[in-house]
Structure 1
Amino acid sequence: MKKNGVSLSVIRRLPRYYRFLGDLLQNGVGRISSKELSQKMNLTASQIRQDLNCFGGFGQQGYGYNIEQLHREIGRIIGVDTMHDTILIGAGNLGSAIAAHMNFEKRGFRLVGIFDSDPQKSGEIIAGLPVRSTGELETFCRENHPTIAILCIPKTAAPKVAPQLVDLGITGFWNFSHYDLRVDHSDVVVENVHLGDSLLTLCYQVTHNRPEEDEGEK
């Protein structure tokens, strides 16, 4: 699968590059070769060069990569400076933890509203924002025009909530509901996060005592 001519596997590696380069910057490293970067990221140097060449390539022969420049360029490619206004639906344990501890603005998102169907949660402050009733969703969205929604709701609730949000202008979902929204909404961007699948992957690897193979496949 490709988006804008770039394979999804390459796109999924971009945040890893961004994170590793950011760590190197914080440690005062100024430049790095593709070989050195490959050793740190458990990718091949060839894979790194191929990935970056999808966006024009940034290294210099005999010099390697300027880490500050490459970090900035990958951030630009990802779009971390765009700032998408975001709402979170479901202020339970998971939703509250995500709202309180995720540095959204560092990743291109601005959390502007939190909603829950439980009346007892209304007015509770999380990450500096009051929890609102889901009954206020329509009015809030029409006044504030968020484009991204984080779903931390039960699987059974997602088929009802998602169409409402799409009608209100939501174009992208970070979906923890375990319901695959792409089935019904192929025209919106969906990133499904299934924590159970991740845990089962760990279970398999521990059972078979094999390290995770990095996402080096194309």
Structure 2
Amino acid sequence: MQKGNTRISMAVIRRLPKYRRYLSELLDKDIHRISSKELSKIIGFTASQIRQDLNNFGGFGQQGYGYNVEELHSAIGKILGLDHSYNTVIVGAGNIGQAIANYTNFEKAGFKPTAMFEINPKLIGLKIRDIEIMDADLLGTYIKEKNINIGIICTSKEKAQDVANVMVESGIQGIWNFAPTDLQVPEHVVLETVHLSESLYTLSYLLKHKREEED
């Protein structure tokens, strides 16, 4: 991502949702102004890091005043594209697919699942909340007809690339992949892969080394 001719690192981009989450909590507590120093104590980043991150996107704070929490929360939402709504489909109605379908906060943020797709005939025709599970053979046609922006892949790794290919051919703009495999997509399609096992193994590493330090 770039601001003018300056490339903004993915490390900065990946910190923005955390900023927004903590700002949401401050608004829930009816806190409307906060300094970078106070924010650093809550989030765990240094005040300098916070100022540096936010300066990538323009000036938000005022010296002697700090940040307007509501304005900063709204601005970060716009930077993240959350001022738009996105039609999504979920492919794979197993545990992960159902969990995503049932997580209403995604819908509140503008990511609306309009349908789920499955190859298991026992699941086709059922509903998760009000989201119908449809035959996977209908995926491409549905994406084209319903103007779907984001495809969420929750299949086995063996099926995931085929599903991604159908999504790409049908005009999908972004793919959120939960299958335990790295997908190949054209440059014009945005791909974000969530490797649950890698995150768990990182936790295992940290636990191991914590035990070694204590010993």
TM-score range normalised by the length of the shorter chain: over 0.9
The question of whether the paired residues in 2 share the 8 Å contact of 1:79 and 1:108 is answered with no
2:21 and 2:96 map into 1 onto residues whose CA distance is: 23
Give yes or no for contact 1:31–1:64 (8 Å, CA) kept in 2. yes
Q: Is the 8 A contact 1:80 1:106 kept in 2?
A: no
* Alpha-carbon contact 2:154-2:178 (below 8 Å) kept: yes
The separation in 2 between residues aligned to 1:33 and 1:144, in whole angstroms, is 44
Amino acid at match of 2:193: N
One-letter code of the match for 1:191?
Answer: E
Q: Matches of 1:186 and 1:111 in 2, distance apart?
A: 24
Shift of 1:137: 1.2
TM-score relative to the length of structure 2: 0.92
Tell me the residue number matched to 1:214: none
Q: How does 1:128-143 map to 2 (within 5 A)?
A: 128-143=130-145
Matched AA of 1:78: L
Q: Tell me how far 1:185 sits from its aligned partner.
A: 3.2
**Which residue of 1 is the match for residue 210 of structure 2?**
209
Alignment match, 1:215: none
Alpha-carbon distance in structure 1 between the residues aligned to 2:105 and 2:38: 28
Q: Which runs of 5+ in 1 are unaligned?
A: 211-218
Q: Which residue number in structure 2 is paired with residue 78 of structure 1?
A: 80
CA distance in 2, matches of 1:203, 1:105: 32
- CA–CA distance in structure 1, aligned partners of residues 163 and 70 of structure 2: 41
How much is the aligned-residue C-alpha RMSD, in angstroms? Answer: 1.3
1:49–1:57 CA contact under 8 A, matched in 2: no
**Is 1:125 the equivalent of 2:127?**
yes
> 1:86, 1:109 within 8 Å by CA — same for their partners in 2?
yes
Q: State the distance in 2 between where 1:206 and 1:101 align.
A: 29
Q: Kindly indicate whether structure 1 or structure 2 has the higher relative contact order, using CA contacts under 8 Å at least 6 residues apart.
A: 1
Residue in 2 aligned with 1:160? 162
- Alignment partner of 1:103: what SS? helix
Distance in 2 between the 1:105 and 1:160 partners? 26
Partner Cα separation in structure 2 for residue 89 and residue 162 of structure 1: 10
The match for 1:198 is 199
Of 45, 53, 70 in structure 2, the residue corresponding to residue 68 of structure 1 is: 70
Aligned residue type for 1:134:
A
Q: CA–CA distance in 1 between the matches of 2:167 and 2:42?
A: 41
Q: 2:149 — aligned with what? A: 147
Partner of 2:25: 23
User: Following the alignment from structure 1 to structure 2, what is the Cα–Cα distance between the partners of residues 6 and 71?
Assistant: 19
Q: Identity over the aligned pairs, expressed in percent? A: 49
**Counterpart secondary structure, 1:190:** strand
The Cα shift of 1:187 comes to 3.0
In structure 2, runs of 5+ residues without a counterpart are: none
Q: TM-score, normalised by structure 1?
A: 0.91
Amino acid at match of 1:173: I
1:105, distance to aligned residue in structure 2 (A): 2.7
